[in-house]
Structure 1
């Protein structure tokens, strides 16, 4: 065998030839390939534009792709109808609400039965909203409404689980009928007109108006269906197509805030940037919890400014698509731009308003480069084709040899790239510093109070918003007083009744009382049995004596003479309007509540509160009426902790302790709110589950056959045994120990839980309930921590939360 050798000169020549070929290849690549970035905030139409590029310049949308889009379209229908039903709850709009009410003047509405609901300044400005809210609350809210549409609405809330068995390929006939009934309802249509107040897909009417066609067994989505289908972009997608001699590589990236940190690595060698703005979102309320002051259009402008003025792009052609002009033109008919942008003083027509928004974006550019702009409707193929041809001409011109820009100052680009990498690294570290906590539990267990304690102990407290709690406090007092009056009637308790003194004084005379009342009650034999049997408890005697006395009249002779008038005043309280109408109590109302709470019969009624529904903190406010009835009373932190406001949406609270950022999500615990939970189950660092021990003697509001603690145990079982949380630490707060201890003095746990055989103490009863919670957990290897808590006691909860924080960090 032989071998050949090469000299150093030969090696040098070979290396130089390779470099030349690589350089030539790169030059060819630079002149034959164009890299486009498709940027913009969420739901501006980027993915739709990409579909149009494939349709116009690529291989089109294949049969397989159209078939694959079917399940996404059906899911869009289900998501849209559920969003509308939830919005009917949030906006308080009854089904069947007539949209022609919008044509009525405030004066005409005021003459109707709703005149008392127009007292607030905001309601006078929006009388139709006030009228809708009045009717909604009058009918008993979402659960209280009856009729075909209300039943259909409750059905569609579970429609996605119904069609999940068919992989979203088919909607059953009864579900189709329910969806159509809800969508065609006049109240739903009015709600849709207010869609700027909640998150709803823009293509909602496109699909809901055509449910019959889409739900056919042989349905094959059309190209227009595919263009209107909403599939959330959660990753980077690259689409390649060739036009003449130029190959285009288009990168579409997710626009939501959490995904923007992934943009930077794609900033190199960009030939052009297409930035999309949804101009129709000018009236949309902000969806992000991070920046509540920015509408989507303002958010888009800030992102555009950051991209447009980036040193890497100071000579890169920018093409601005002001998209969704079809929706924009429709909204301008009934939504004034000046209502959302005070600086706008032009006519509310398409030409003037669109020019205003275009100029708002153009003026943020710091570099002397030209920005091409187009008003577009991304779902209109014919219009987009003409615009994309113009865009292609811009890109071809920018790639010609006379227009290729090579920056001699390469250090700037290198420095910028280094900064980008540093920023990406910083973003990753910031994510690692974040801790996501989920605060779960059934209704009225104290979750919101614990969230307030987080803010008080680790956050900024309530300094800026204390005055906002005045109305909820006054409303809570009024509602509690009215509840007590109703309970006195339902439980047959006379005002002025004092069981300790009356039973002692009149036990020998009960037979005489029975003879007076027997004609009314017809219960003499039962009375004799209850009173004279040794097995009868003192509480049972008190209940029966109260029942006998109330037949003689609701007021005992010794009761306050002013009390009947006070009761009538409280009965007249209108608590259907919500707390914003309760800035203060009148002197008459305040005196009535004080008289009511001072009555011995009402105090006895309070001890039996497990038999009706009233907030646990009612006594806190009633016992301090003198302070709360003062028009100038100052709200304290303890007042806020005791204030009950029903959680009907998801709230996120952020605070930083040392180097960690805690994100705590609190969601409504009522049965109707739990369907919102699942979307927050991802990336959870720890679960805090709150159960109220003080509810052991109460039944559920939604179901009077289920004990409230058992409801909490069943819910805990489904949460703790969810595979998603197989290794997620769970922190169990057995809350309301103060109420629990108070009730144990007069209530035996065994009355409600026959399997309880221990002493009726906080320790033994608490351990009994703790064991019930622990035994339903399917994953015993999972970390679980338990605490007996009183959420309103800041001193005690502070030490518990500090321990919890250390557990989470560990």
Structure 2
């Protein structure tokens, strides 16, 4: 009987050893996978350009966009140009800019009858957009766009209304990069480079979306915080009393000093540098930073903004890499 128990025990131990070996092998595979996986968390306030960077990864490492996505972007772009004209018409009223009598009638009819949510554009709507966009007062309203809310890419698309409204229009990669759709929820893109799996996670930057950020904090390899350099004289969509860059700095400070990220590598992308270079010629940096005393050169103003963000990081000696960039420039990205 003792021999039977001994034989049974040996059999059990052998089975357990075999099972342990399987578990060890599985754990080794999981550890290897974790060693070769890089999770990048992409954060920033609304309209900073985070989603444009994700689109660039789609172009650079995933071979571009599938046909159904291209069709969706076409519909969004067509809806957007109608929305841009409506915003410009509304801003003319707010800024006391008198549209010519003839164009005022076209504008009134456009606001009353055209649904900006629909991608359909009739010949009459196309002609109205082209006519209104040529109006000097709408052009003036565009130049004063820091006084209200108008997406940066509005001119890029409105200048090409004729092409966009044509039946054979197909958005180019540049069109898709410039097309703005607010990120809602969490978007993720994965690709392999040099035997590493890269996971880039983009979470919506609007105030209502930021509560979702904390759910993405685990296992982050690198934190990338995106800043729209050109927003220093603009106000928030959610609250026009608040400066966008001041909001961005506040969010940046709270995020990068969070316990989850204190030991993580940090990359700061000072984005939209192309727009900033043009804007700083006309609008002083003191519109955001009243204490700024340097000149209005791109070199001094951009350096001041960079140092402003870097000064918010509490942990000394942390590896931080700031870059000036333009997310719509594929070569630069």
Query: Deviations along 1:172-194, whole A, 9 cap, x unmatched?
Result: xxxxxxxxxxxxxxxxxxxxxxx
48, 52, 70: which is aligned to 1:466? Answer: 70
For each residue in 1:234-288, what CA deviation from the matched residue of structure 2 results, as whole angstroms up to 9, or x when unmatched? Answer: xxxxxxxxxxxxxxxxxxxxxxxxxxxxxxxxxx67xxxxxxxxxxxxxxxxxxx
- Out of 108, 111, 120, the position equivalent to 1:568 is 108
Structure 2 Cα separation of the partners of residues 439 and 733 of structure 1: 10
Tell me if 1:643 matches 2:176.
no
> What does residue 804 of structure 1 align with?
none
Structure 2 CA distance for partners of 1:21 and 1:621, relative to 1, 3 Å: same
Task: Give the 3-state SS of the residue equivalent to 2:269 in structure 1.
Answer: strand
Q: Per-residue deviation at 1:684? A: 0.4
Corresponding residue number in structure 2 for 1:444: 47
1:726–1:621 CA distance, 2 compared to 1 (3 A): same
Task: Give the Cα–Cα distance (whole angstroms) in 2 for the partners of residues 596 and 19 of structure 1.
Answer: 98
CA distance in 2, matches of 1:740, 1:661: 34
How far 1:21 moved relative to its partner?
A: 5.2
Q: 456, 460, 475: which is aligned to 2:59?
A: 456
Task: Tell me how far 1:793 sits from its aligned partner.
Answer: 1.0
- For 1:789, which of 325, 328, 331 is the aligned residue? 325
Structure 2 counterpart of 1:484: 88
Residue equivalent to 1:631: 167
Higher relative contact order (CA 8 A, sep 6+): 2
Aligned with 1:665 (options 201, 207, 212): 201
- C-alpha distance in 2 between matches for 1:682 and 1:481: 43
The Cα shift of 1:428 comes to: 2.7
Secondary structure class of the residue paired with 2:233: coil
Give the equivalent residue in structure 2 for 1:742: 278
The residue that corresponds to 2:6 in the other structure is 22
1:687 aligns with 2:223: yes
Q: Which residue in 1 is equivalent to 2:97?
A: 493
CA drift of 1:648 comes to: 1.1
Cα distance in 2, alignment partners of residues 687 and 793 from structure 1: 21
TM-score, length of structure 1 as denominator length: 0.39
5 Å-filtered alignment, 1:191-230, equals none
Report the 3-state secondary structure (helix = DSSP H, G, I; strand = E; otherwise coil) of the residue aligned with 1:796: coil
Q: Is 1:751 equivalent to 2:287 in the alignment?
A: yes
- 2:306 aligned with 1:770, yes or no? yes
Distance in 1 (alpha carbons) for counterparts of 2:306 and 2:164: 37
Post-superposition offset of 1:24: 5.5
Are positions 1:428 and 2:31 aligned together? yes
Would the aligned equivalents of 1:758 and 1:765 in 2 still touch at CA under 8 Å? yes
Q: CA–CA distance in 1 between the matches of 2:36 and 2:84?
A: 44
Structure-to-structure mapping, 1:223-622, within 5 angstroms: 422-464=25-67, 465-495=69-99, 555=100, 561=102, 563-572=103-112, 573-575=114-116, 578=117, 581-582=118-119, 584-622=120-158
Q: Rg: which structure is higher? A: 1
CA contact (8 A) 1:647 1:669 kept: yes
> What secondary structure is seen at the aligned counterpart in 2 of 1:786?
strand
1:737 positional shift:
1.0
CA contact (8 A) 1:437 1:663 kept: yes
Are the counterparts in 2 of residues 566 and 591 from structure 1 also a CA contact under 8 Å? Answer: no
In 2 relative to 1, CA 24–680 (structure 1 residues): closer, same or farther, beyond 3 Å? closer
Contact 2:232–2:287, Cα closer than 8 Å, also in 1: no
Q: Secondary structure at 1:727's aligned position in 2?
A: coil
C-alpha contact (below 8 Å) 2:245/2:288 kept by paired residues: no
String of CA shifts for 1:345-374, please: whole Å, max 9, x gaps: xxxxxxxxxxxxxxxxxxxxxxxxxxxxxx
Partners of 1:785 and 1:705 in 2: CA distance: 31
Indicate the RMSD between aligned Cα atoms, in angstroms: 2.4
Residues 446 and 692 in structure 1, CA contact (< 8 A), matched pair in contact too: yes
CA distance in 2, matches of 1:717, 1:611: 27
Question: Residue 433 and residue 25 in structure 1: after superposition, are their counterparts in 2 closer, same or farther (change >3 A)?
Answer: closer
Q: Is the 8 A contact 1:442 1:691 kept in 2?
A: yes
Q: For 2:144 and 2:321, locate their aligned partners in 1 and report how far apart those are by CA, in whole Å.
A: 33
Q: Which TM-score applies when normalising by structure 2?
A: 0.92
1:424-447 deviations in Å (ceiling 9; x for gaps): 433331222111110000000000
The answer to whether 1:711 aligns with 2:252 is no
**Counterpart of 1:723 in 2: which secondary structure?**
coil
The 1:25–1:630 alpha-carbon spacing in structure 2 relative to 1, beyond 3 Å, is closer
Distance change >3 Å, CA 417–CA 787, structure 1 → 2: same
Q: Distance in 2 between matches of 1:467 and 1:752?
A: 39
Distance in 2 (CA, whole Å) between partners of 1:21 and 1:567 is 94
1:725 is paired with a residue whose SS is coil
Secondary structure of 1:717's aligned partner: helix
* 1:43-82 equivalent positions in 2, closer than 5 A: none
Q: Return the alpha-carbon distance in structure 2 between the equivalents of residues 704 and 687 of structure 1.
A: 28
How far, CA to CA, are the matches of 1:419 and 1:433 in structure 2? 21
Q: Tell me the distance in 2 between the aligned counterparts of 1:19 and 1:757.
A: 92
1:780 aligns with 2:316: yes
* DSSP-derived class of the 1:724 partner: coil
On the 8 A contact 1:452/1:641 being kept in 2, the answer is yes
Structure 2: unaligned runs, 5 residues or longer: none
Task: Map Cα deviations across residues 617-646 of structure 1 (whole Å, 9 max, x no partner).
Answer: 011101111210102101110000000111
Contact 2:184–2:203 (CA under 8 A) maintained in structure 1: yes
Answer whether contact 1:655 1:661 (CA < 8 A) is retained. Answer: yes
